[in-house]
Each structure stands twice: as structure tokens, then as C-alpha cells.
Structure 1
Amino acid sequence: MPVAREPVTQRDVAASLGVSISAVSLALSGRPGVGDDLRRRILDRAAELGYRPNASAVALRTSRTRVLGLLIRNLRNPHFLDVIDGFDETCARAGYEVMVGSSRYDPTREAQLVDAFQHRAIDGLAIAPIGTNHRVRERFSATSRPVVLLDTAAPDAATMSVRSDQEASVDLAVQHLLELGHRRVAMVVAPDDKSPDPERLQHFRRLAADLGFTADTVTTELSADAARTALRQALERDAATRPTAFITNSDYIAHTVYLAAADLGLSIPEDISVIGHDDLPTSASLYPALTTIAVDRRSIGEQAATLLIDALAGGPGDRTNIVVPVELRVRSSTARPAGGLRP
């Protein structure tokens, strides 16, 4: 069984070069007091020996842990996996480590995780909150550490945020369906207390009033089982009154429209059309391939991490509220409605 190797210390680096520990400390911390040649020798030898600074000691000296938190709503939704990837990679390049938590749409768990992040004294937090109630965010920001909101309604100008362009996503989806001839369109939404972006539904209803189509809603908890049940109930309505198309807030939920339709012997897109949001790698492989709103999910994570790192460096940067553009990807899950309606 291999024996665990003791971590390399500043004393080890100093002994290998025959210099004082104080010289090593000054060189590794970037402080003045050693010449450039000696500093280079110390840094090179530290890298050669595999020296890593003691995180606890650094935290005590600088009041920084160089750890950032990322709190999301649902790890089962692949959307957030790409957000995490972009966030983690950006942090790693800047010398930060990442702690990740998932609230699972449970407000109590969300509050507990925020408390846990505070206890671990992380330097900043990116959070995709449940709903638009920002009390959890406010509890964390009271510690004077930076907070970035992800994928939620636009906050006040003083709060940093990164979100996809939800209004444009609704515009693109509705325009596409109306051009196909749909006049009864449903949007799948979370309950009011858990909806991250009520502005999306409000914009959908404004478009219905302006453009003259019937706007329906399917309100459901955003889990696959709950959504499948709610969608099946919507599809069981008489063919003359049920929606002919569904707009969802994620490809994850769009997949459940396929399942609910199959439960009732309905076909996509012959009986109903479906539009997702995210453009997950699996969505083009569905049968039929899913029409969806594409958004750069990695960019959301990258830009959230950059906002936090810039804030910790002393400034908010050029932008504090970032809106990531979206794009419609038309595939086979949308078609003219049954009955041959025309625009």
C-alpha cells in the first residue's frame, strides 16, 4: 500500500536552496524584500518540488479562502452541468477552487446551503435562486462578499447577474409558431413561488394580446414526473380546444411533452408542436429532433465567475448585468397544426 506523501513546506523549499524561510515566504507571497534572481529560483524550486500554499494559513493572513460557491436549482437538468463547467474552468484559470450545491427546488435546503457556504467563508457566491425571492441572496451579501444571480429575473442595478435573453426567446418561439399557423399556444411554467423569471410569462401574454393568438399555461413543478402528469392533463382536452403547440423553459421539460403525448397516442409534430430552451446535445437526437432556443450555457458560468473574480479584485468590471443572446434552432418537432391552418 503506498504511503501518503507529506506536503512540501516552505521550510523544505528553503532547505533545498540554502536560503532563509523568510526569503521563501516573501518570494512566494509576491512581497518585496528579495531580488529578482532569487525570487525566480525560489518560484522554480517550489514548482519543481510541488509546493502548494496552505489554504488555512493563506485565509488567516489575507481573510480570503480563494474558494467561490455555485448554488444551482437542479443538478438533474443538464443545462446546469455546462454552467458548472464554464464556472469551474474560469475559476481554475484564476487560481480559485469551487464549491457546488444544488437546492433541488427546496427553499429550506437552499437556505441551509447558503449558511454552509458562509460557514466555509467562501469569497463569493453565484446562485440560481428558487423563484425571484432574493432573501437568501440578501443574507449572503450582508457579509459584504460579492453575489451574482444566475438565470433569474433582472434584479436592481446594484446586483450583479447573468441571464439568457428570456424576452427574445419568447419572441422567437411565438413568431415561429405563428408563421406555421398555430393560434392556440401553451407555455409550460413553474408555480409562481418557484418561477425564476415571471417576466417570461408576462411577455408571452402581452404577445397574445397584441398578436391575437390564444395563450394557455401549464403550471407544474419542474420535475419530469410532475411535468409529464400536468402535460398529459392539458393534452386530454378536446382537440378543438387544447393547445396545438407548447413552449417550454428547458429541453429537459420539453422531453416530457414527448412522453405525455406518447401516453395519449398523440404524435409530434402531427398533433402538437414543441419548442424547448437550451439546445442540449441530446435534443437533436430525439425523434423527432427538437426545435429549441439555443443559449451558450458555458458562457453563463464563465461570465458569472468573471464577475465575482473582478469584484474581488476591486471593481465590478464594465458590466454587472449580463444578458446572453439566444438563437432559434428549427428542427422537426414543429410543423403546421392539424387541420391545415395557415398564417
Structure 2
Amino acid sequence: MALSTQLHVVTGKGGTGKTTVAAALAMALAAKGKKVLLCEVEGRQGIAQLFDVPPLPYEERQIAVGLGGGEVYALAIDPESALLEYLAMYYRLGRAGKALERFGIIDFATTIAPGVRDVLLTGKVYEAAGRRSGDGLTYDAVIMDAPPTGRITRFLNVNAEVAGLAKVGPIRRQADSIMEMMRSSATHVHLVTVLEEMPVQETIDGIAELESARLPVGHVILNLVRPSLMSDGTREALQSGSLKPAKVAASLARSSVTKAAAPALIAGGEANLERHRLQDEQREILQDCGRPLIELPSLRDGIDLGALFELADQLRDLA
């Protein structure tokens, strides 16, 4: 497949904010005037919640406009709808496909052959990435909010998943075409993590697995990075142990905070220092992973459309 549409696959351990990052990346691309399709494949309706729109059907719908005039469309892909569309497109089954749905054949097929399910999900992304409108491609970029890191290589490596099921025929040809797209230079698999031991280790393992399967690893995105809450002088005083309760209490005397809060404030400051020490430790580990890093801050007021614009600005290098 001659692919000029960029495909960004966003994965990460559960709880690291991969859906938020995928949505922010879509807004970053739209800020450059691009037309973007943002897809999800896990049935969680996370995109609809982020953009505060009704639950997404199996239909591409515009959900946002970027600051640069680009457009963000969204699609919730489910295997049942994808299979019916596949049958209609390649076998012209039409109403017969609907009859198969009533008889439960779709659940049967995707249960006995889970690899087929992934071919259907990734196949829809493949179709959208290669679709043409007029003289050009329909979308400048497609972003997939993909399964977690622990399952991403198996999900994307559809050739291996269907090898024992279909050695020839349309499913195999579809899998081969998908793998050509997945290994294209226009595809980037980005891994989202937070600066904690387990997610970082899963990210490093995920990079190794993706590279072993010859799947193109893009950036590692450090999400929810906690900002420092104290000045350099306060940090140095805490580290040296020179910041005593009496000194803090004297400072509090000039404010409305009671002097009795001094020990708790020092303990909170020490806990903050420890959290940053652990963050720095995990960041150093990731700096050796061989992939470029991008940091996104933890936003105090949570995630809404305004926050997505803010995060999108941090992701402009990816776009």
C-alpha cells in the first residue's frame, strides 16, 4: 500500500492517559490545518467523554476544529460492524450480512478466531488511511487509540495472528496489506507512560517487543509529570536538613496559617522531594531506551477541551 496518510498508534499501560494523549495529538495535528481521524477500538467511548459529545456510533463524525482550521473526526470501531462492512465491500453480501448478524455468526467467528477480530479492527483503520476523496486522501492523518502496551504487538502483528487460520484467501491478503501499512515509514507507534516503576518497565518491554516484530516505534510520551511545588532555595534547605520547624513557624507568623502546621508542611515538602526523586530516577531509565521523549504535565484542573488544547501545544513536534 502506497501510504502517505500518517498513522499514529497510541498505546500505554492502563491508567497512563493514552486516550487523552491520542486526543491531544489529534488537536495538535488539527492546529496545523490537517484533517484527522481519531479512532478507538476498545469500546470504551473514551473519545466521546473527552470531547463531551454523545456516544460515537460506527460512523465518522466531526467532533472538533483545531486552532489552525483543521478538523478532527472520530470513529468508534467495533468488530461486528467492521465485519458487516467487510462482507458488504468484498463479498457484496448486503442483506445477507445482516442475516448473519441475527444468527450470531459474527460472535462465533470472532470468538473461535480472536485473530480475526484484530484484523477487522485494524482493517478499518487501513481502509480509512488509504481512502481517497477526489484527487487526494480523505485524511491527512489517522490516530488509533490502541489496546494497552502488554497487548499492542500482538494486536498490530496481525500476520502472526492469522497465520494458522488463513494461509491464503481474502483474510490473509487483508492481513498482508495491513502489515504493509503497519511497517510503513508513515506509521508511528507511540508509547505513553507515567514516571513510575511498573509503567516504565512495561514501556521498555513494549519497545523491545515492537522492534522484534519490526513495527516502527515513535516517541515515548511521559504523561502526568508532576511540577515542582517549591523554590530552589526551599528544595536545598530541605535536602540539607537546615529547614527546621521553628524557622517555618516564624514565617507562618506573618500569614494566616497557624504555627502548628510547620511540621506537616515540612513533611509534605519532603514527600514532594521524594516523588520528584523517583520521577527523575524513572526518567533516567527511559533516556536510555533509544526513543525520543516528550513530557506532558499533570494538569491541576483535570482534562477538558481547553486542557486538550494545552497538551496539544506540547505535542507539536509529533504533529
TM-score past 0.5 threshold:
no
- Give the structure with higher Rg (CA): 1
Greater helix content: 2
Higher RCO by CA contacts (8 Å cutoff, separation 6 or greater): 2
Calculate the TM-score normalised by the size of structure 1: 0.30
